[in-house]
Amino acid sequence: MEKKKFDINSLIGFLLIGGILIWMLYLNKPTEEELQAEKAKTEAAAKEKAEAEKGKQDITLAEAVSDTMDAVKPGDSLALEQLKNKLGSFAYSGTLPSATEGTTVLENDVLKLKISNKGGYISEALLKDFHKYDSVPVYLIKDGNASLDLQFSAENRSLNSKDLYFQPTLSKNGEDHVLSMKLKTSENGFIEYRYTLHPGEYMLDFSINSQGLDGIINTSQPMYLDWQLKGYRHAKSISYENRYSRLTYEYEDEKHSKLSPSGEDDELEKDVTWMNFRQHFFSSMLLTDTPFKEVKLTSVDLVKNEEVDTTFTKQYGAKMLLEPKGGALAYDMNMYYGPSDYQIFKKYDRNLDEAMPLGWGIFGVINKYIIIPLFAFLTDFLPAGIAIIVLTILIKLLLSPVQYKQYLAQAKMKVLKPEMDEIKEKYKDNKLKIQQENMKLQNSAGASPLKGCLPALLQIPVFYALFTFFPSAFDLRQKSFLWADDLSSYDTVAELPFNVPFYGDHVSLFPILASIAIFVYMMMTMGQNMQQQQQPGMPNMKFLMYLSPLFMLVFFNNYASGLSLYYFVSNLITIGIMLVIKNFIIDEDKIHAKIQVKKAQPKKQNKFQRKMSEMMEQAEQQKKSGKR
């Protein structure tokens, strides 16, 4: 057997390897910045894990609280003890006779509400006077599509009022129905939701108050009121209704804004005074006398495919930060469940009309102070379809002087066409010179294409105001006219066995009639312009003449038939007015004679005309210099 000997060389080798490793570790040691970054990363991971565990515990607690409160019975000491361990002082509410799944009805002649003992919030809201497109009553809240949750901390517990039971007390104050819902900690300690419903009103008073909760509720922790609602579909056209379903709100001293009508959107706003979860023709609103310091608003579009029937249109949310005063809650608010009707909104004098899509600036002014009052007056004694026709006639008569100016300018240009053709032939190789000479001719004759365009521009505010008015006019909802059974939705004269992109699965007649009328009108107004020379930079008139009717035909197939009816009647009247002006008012021979007299008179150019003339002359000189 060989005797083992101490190998000095191996020892030296191990020492050298160890030294090299130590030296390499020293060179690669982390810097101070890297150590701080790693520390921050570790702390963030720990915090995230703790929050996830806390969220999991909160969910488990909520489920356990609900299960225990459902199971507790008078005299069941074990269940009562479990309830006290989970809820502390709020376990008192679980021992009351109201700790059941009962509801209390609060109603007047237009609105019926059911308020649930569990959570104390409205679990059903029925509008008595209205029906959906399929004759089903209109419910804004039903089958768990909405919740109102007070989130707070009490005795080292995070609680949600939607999991707890309230004690209802129904009474009358004169003609008003009053419902008090109390979440109790004792006979004299509670959080109260108070609802007051007035006769004939869609608006009800709503308040949140607390009493005797000093030392129970932790006011140093944030307290939130979380309102969630999924909007039910009510109209025949899901795409049309969804386009006008939108979350709107007021904040910071009467500023108004809205979330996107498509996709997902959210906003954090300060000092919010009201918010409207609008579902096209119906609104669910929350208003407060004391502005919410901070509100997280959310909107999610639930219509993923407009070709598929959908139950809900939008998922709305508002998480409001509450500020207890002196350790107690005291918020006076209002709730509104009813039609999105301008006349109703306006009477409350709280800027609720800003929740309606009536257009901004001058467009909204025209709607609010001219179109809406006039249409409301007409519908008082006329059917909705006839009222649209009369409204259109009145507007066209009001704008007829503007249209006269427009046609007169076109007639002058038509009279000058032979002379403009001569200029074109004379300077056919010099486009700049053609423009210069045409401008001189038009100035001397007092004619200009701009004079024909300006009257048309003056009609645009009225045109756009009416475009925004008809889709939001509640008075058109479910009103029939001729073959259209609902002027607030599309009319149908034929069903298609397939869906055409952008067009739909049906044929609407009013857009077809409106398209024909627009085509005839454009033939009358653009026909003579197409015979004239096509000015450089000007749009192709023939293209425009076909584009507008095609746009009306395709995209208005799913729009409100009342809007298409307006365009059809409007263009018919416009064609009639133009024929009257052309055949009985304007004499082209007289216009030609006046132009010749005016051309003979010395013409004084204004500053703009002089500047344009100078610029064209300079361009002409530069062109000549470049040829030399």
Whether the CA torsion 161, 163, 165, 168 is positive or negative: it is positive
User: Which of 82, 86, 91 lies closest to 61 in space, CA to CA?
Assistant: 86
Residue pLDDT, tens place only, 7-32? 555 555 556 556 655 655 555 555 55
Residue 73, C-beta contacts closer than 8 angstroms, at least 6 positions apart: 79
Q: Which of 67-76, 530-539, 577-586 has the lowest mean pLDDT?
A: 530-539
- Place 510 in a pLDDT band, splitting at 50, 70 and 90: very high
Q: How far apart are CA 117 and CA 414, in angstroms?
A: 78
479-497: average pLDDT: 88
pLDDT higher than 80, residue 281: yes
Q: Coil, strand, or helix at residue 602?
A: coil
CA distance linking residue 464 with residue 323, whole number of Å: 43
Q: Nearest 5°: phi and psi at 290?
A: -100, 110
Choose the weakest-confidence range: 15-19, 197-201, 314-318: 15-19
Q: Is pLDDT at 537 greater than 50 in this prediction?
A: no
Tokens of 342: 């301008």
Say how many C-beta atoms besides its own lie within 10 A of residue 523's C-beta.
12
247 touches 145 (CB < 8 A)? no
495 to 135, 233, 238, 427, 504: CA distances (angstroms): 20, 22, 16, 58, 10
Q: Provide the 10 A C-beta neighbour count for residue 265.
A: 16
- Residue 226 pairs in a beta bridge with 149, 319
Measured CA to CA, the distance from residue 544 to residue 532 in angstroms comes to: 16
Q: HSE, CB side, 13 Å, CA atoms: give it for residue 589.
A: 1
Query: Rounded to a whole number, what is the largest CA-CA distance in the chain?
Result: 140
Residue 400: which of 251, 566, 238, 578 has the closest Cα? 578
Average the pLDDT over 168-193 and give the result: 92
**Which residues, including other chains, have CB under 8 Å from residue 500's CB and lie 6 or more apart?**
none
What percent of the chain has a predicted confidence (pLDDT) above 70? Answer: 70
For 225-285, where are the alpha helices, taking DSSP H only? 238-243
pLDDT computed for residue 117 by the predictor = 93
Ranked by mean pLDDT, which of 85-89, 107-111, 304-308, 568-572 comes out on top?
Answer: 107-111
Burial class (CB in 10 A: 0-12, 13-18, 19+), 176: middle
pLDDT tens-digit map of 447-456: 666 555 665 6
User: Structure tokens of 116?
Assistant: 């649930």
Q: Going by DSSP bridges, is the β-strand pair 137-141/122-131 parallel, antiparallel, or unpaired?
A: antiparallel
- CA-nearest of 296, 335, 298, 299 to 319 is 296
Q: Which residue has the tokens 């160890």?
A: 18
Confidence check: pLDDT of 65 > 70? no
Alpha helices in 473-587 (DSSP H): 509-531, 541-555, 561-580
**Helix axes of 541-555 and 509-531: crossing angle, nearest 10 degrees:** 180
- Alpha carbons within 13 A on the beta-carbon side of 247: 27
In this structure, of 81-90, 154-163, 257-266, 360-369, the range with the lowest mean pLDDT score is 81-90
Reply yes or no on whether the pLDDT at 488 is more than 90: no
Mapping DSSP to helix (H, G, I), strand (E, B) and coil, where does residue 84 land? helix
Task: Give the residue-averaged pLDDT of 177-199.
Answer: 93
pLDDT band at 40 (very low <50, low <70, confident <90, very high): low
Point out which residues pair with 312 in neighbouring strands: 232
**What's the CA gap between 65 and 16, in Å, rounded?**
67
186, 254 Cβ separation under 8 angstroms: no
The Cβ-side half-sphere exposure at 56, using a 13 Å CA radius, reads: 6
* 584-608: average pLDDT: 61
Percentage of the chain beyond pLDDT 90 is 35
Within 13 Å of residue 63, how many CA atoms lie on the same side as its CB?
Answer: 6
Look up residue 287 and give its two tokens: 């208003």
Q: Label residue 611 by pLDDT band (50, 70, 90).
A: low
The residues facing 131 across adjacent strands are 137
| d(C-alpha 249, C-alpha 163), whole Å | 28
What is this structure's pTM?
0.77
What's the pLDDT tens digit per position in 413-472?
Answer: 776 677 777 777 767 767 777 777 667 666 666 666 655 566 567 678 888 888 889 888
Query: Would you say how long the chain is, in residues?
Result: 628
Q: pLDDT at residue 345 above 60?
A: yes
Decide yes or no: CATH 2.70.98.90 for domain 102-354: yes
Between CA 539 and CA 556 the distance in angstroms is 24
More confident residue, 47 or 104: 104
Q: Name the residue type at position 566.
A: Y
Structural domain boundaries of the chain? 102-354, 371-480+560-610
Q: Residue range 220-239: average pLDDT?
A: 90
Contact 140, 279 (CB under 8 A): yes
Q: 80, 87 in Cβ contact below 8 A?
A: no
Q: In the numeric block, which tokens belong to residue 195?
A: 């609802």
CB-based contact 119:149 (threshold 8 Å): yes
Instruction: Compute CA 614 distance to the chain's CA centroid, rounded to the nearest angstrom.
Output: 50
| Better-predicted residue by pLDDT, 306 or 561 | 561
Mean pLDDT of the residues in the chain: 80
- What's the average model confidence in pLDDT over 503-531? 79
Q: Tens digits of per-residue pLDDT, 86-127?
A: 777 887 777 777 778 889 999 999 999 999 999 999 999 999
